[in-house]
Amino acid sequence: MHFKNLDPKRVLIFDTTLRDGEQSPGATLNLAEKLEIARQLARLGVDIIEAGFAIASPGDFEAVSKIAQEVGQLDNPPVIASLARANKKDIDAAWAAVQWAKRPRIHTFLATSDIHLQYKLRISRSECIEQVGEMVSYARSLCEDVEFSPEDAGRSDPEFLWEVLKVAVEAGATTLNIPDTVGYCTPQEYGQLIAGIVEHVPGIKEGKVIVSVHCHNDLGMATANTLAGLMAGARQAEVTINGIGERAGNTSLEEVVMALKTRSQFFGGLYTNIDTTQLVRTSKMVSSLTSIPVQPNKAIVGANAFAHEAGIHQDGMLKNPLTYEIMRPEDVGWNSTNLVLGKHSGRHAFAERLKQMGYDLTREELEKAFERFKVLCDKKKVVSDADIEALLTDQFETLGNDLFQLDELQVATGTGSTPVASVRLIDAEGEPHQDAAVGNGPVNAVCNCINRITGANAKLVEFHVHAVTEGIDAIANVTIRVEMTDAEGKKYIFSGRSADTDTLVASGKAYLAAINKGLRRLRRAQGQAAA
């Protein structure tokens, strides 16, 4: 067990952005992006990083291992966990991936609700108990830190749940995580569920095992449920940055952390180890790299979270910020110093700025980013943090997704004429491919042309463009979602993004990034099916 003699008021933050969060449709991250997020999570001060689901794919396995080898080897590092279903193959893969960390954890799960046992797993309650005992004890034979989750605990019979959890503790589990998998519980119910577990499962009150809360937001109650669970005795909260996750998402890290901090007295002095000044930076990084925008009115990290529009509010704020502000923007990292760089800024100033923004690039990545920064300086007088963020996001997006690269793009469009795009792509072998296509708009013409060249069976389903900064020379940041269909007719969503001072170039590159991801994934799936 990694957290011995924990202060009874301390709440551990288990971040699952890279596992449950990455399960958001279209949020696929490449290895470089996952590593960048993991480094930032360590800076933020999370206690445990769930780095992925090692058995899910070779890419997931590699990401978990690399995070374990790098972030898991820092001084005083976070615990690095991998998810595993309750079977030997999954558990072996999880262990093989996390073993490199100074503080590894295997997180294994098996459903306990009658609905899941009967319809999904087709096993009886006693078979479930037996499997939990065997697999937790197998995981424990490999790793001293084992977390067990009874999936769909929120809809499980509490007395059966106590029985399963008791077996898990006897088999060596050190953390018991209680997922409200489908976001069904209300705060009162979930709090009672946790209180019942604390009361009836031996080992918890004695401090031998930690109870964890894991909530989904289907009814908008994930944060409230998580806080209710902590009030009832849980001391680990499983959360994601910006609340991203399957369907309506998971509990948002920033909301739980700031609720405990701002209403400390109400929550009986519970506290976390999070450096709250890193919250906005982390939120922006995750939003950029996953292409999932943060709604403006999102608590803590939304663009409007600290904006006061009404005259009465503005008047009060000028007289004393305490009138309408319960938290200080600088305490969550809304930057007071947004320094701008320009064409006279050198490599050193640029590298320093990146560090302050939370990016830790290799020498090669830094060189590439600096070159692109210089090109941008020729187009824009001043380059802000937001411009740099867009530029980096674009650079990460193309890493490892180079089946095709955009070489040339021209579009002819205007009133009364059909838009025509001409595109030249370079494939992985360096061969050029050129074609032209029409469309019902210039972006559509570009997408049609890319489909013709790559052979992708793809359709643009979402398109967002926003100017990163104000002014005529602003960078356009394009985020798109593409639906692709495999040979069996199964549909998948892939996202792509790009930034450029030319909106059509940004659109073409964003579309190509999504197509590259999709083609890789579908080819891999095809290869696995054939094997």
Q: Is 456 helix (H, G, I), strand (E, B) or coil?
A: coil
DSSP-derived secondary structure for 218-230: TTS-HHHHHHHHH
Which of the listed partners (ligand KIV, Zn ion, none) does 50 bind, with a CB threshold of 5 to 8 Å by partner kind?
A: none
**Rounded to the nearest 5°, which phi and psi values hold at 212?**
-120, 150
Count residues near Zn ion (CB under 5 A): 1
Q: How far apart are CA 16 and CA 82, in angstroms?
A: 10
Judged by CB, which is closer to Zn ion: 49, or 480?
49
Q: Is 458 helix (H, G, I), strand (E, B) or coil?
A: strand
70 lies in the binding site for ligand KIV (CB under 6 A): no
Judged by CB, which is closer to ligand KIV: 194, or 510?
194
Q: Smallest distance from the beta carbon of 388 to Zn ion, in angstroms?
A: 33
Q: In angstroms, what CA-CA distances link 67 with 72, 245, 517?
A: 6, 20, 21
242 lies in the binding site for ligand KIV (CB under 6 A): no
Q: Smallest distance from the beta carbon of 216 to Zn ion, in angstroms?
A: 6
Tokens 């088999």 sit on residue: 171
Window contacting ligand KIV (CB under 6 A); options: 55-63, 173-181, 376-384, 454-462? 173-181
Q: Quote the tokens at residue 194.
A: 């946790």
Q: In angstroms, what CA-CA distances link 322 with 314, 452, 471, 503?
A: 12, 59, 34, 42
Give per-residue burial for 487-513: e unless 16+ CB within 10 Å, then b.
eeeeebbbbbbbbbbebbbbbbbbbbb
**Member of 26, 72, 172, 179 binding ligand KIV (CB under 6 A):** 179
Residue 379 CA to chain centroid, in angstroms?
A: 32
**Member of 103, 140, 214, 353 binding ligand KIV (CB under 6 A):** 214
Which of the listed partners (ligand KIV, Zn ion, none) does 109 bind, with a CB threshold of 5 to 8 Å by partner kind?
A: ligand KIV
Q: How far apart are CA 507 and CA 476, in angstroms?
A: 9
The residues facing 427 across adjacent strands are: 404
Window 92-111: contact mask with ligand KIV (x via CB under 6 A): -----------------x--
- 486 and 494 Cβ atoms separated by less than 8 Å: no
Q: Smallest distance from the beta carbon of 147 to ligand KIV, in angstroms?
A: 9
Q: Smallest distance from the beta carbon of 87 to ligand KIV, in angstroms?
A: 14
Q: Smallest distance from the beta carbon of 319 to ligand KIV, in angstroms?
A: 46
Tell me, what amino acid is at 319?
K
Window contacting Zn ion (CB under 5 A); options: 17-25, 268-276, 391-399, 451-459? 17-25
Judged by CB, which is closer to ligand KIV: 216, or 509?
216
Judged by CB, which is closer to ligand KIV: 84, or 458?
84
Count residues near ligand KIV (CB under 6 A): 9
Q: Smallest distance from the beta carbon of 18 to ligand KIV, in angstroms?
A: 13
47 lies in the binding site for Zn ion (CB under 5 A): no
**Member of 24, 113, 149, 393 binding ligand KIV (CB under 6 A):** 149
The residues facing 251 across adjacent strands are: none
Window contacting ligand KIV (CB under 6 A); options: 138-146, 177-185, 188-196, 318-326? 177-185
Q: Which helix (H) or strand (E) holds 264?
A: none
Count CA within 13 A, CB hemisphere, residue 260.
27
Q: Where are the beta strands (DSSP E) in 48-173?
A: 48-52, 79-85, 104-111, 146-151
Window contacting Zn ion (CB under 5 A); options: 18-26, 29-37, 316-324, 474-482? 18-26
- Residues in contact with Zn ion by CB under 5 A are 20
- Residues in contact with ligand KIV by CB under 6 A are 20, 109, 149, 151, 177, 179, 181, 214, 216
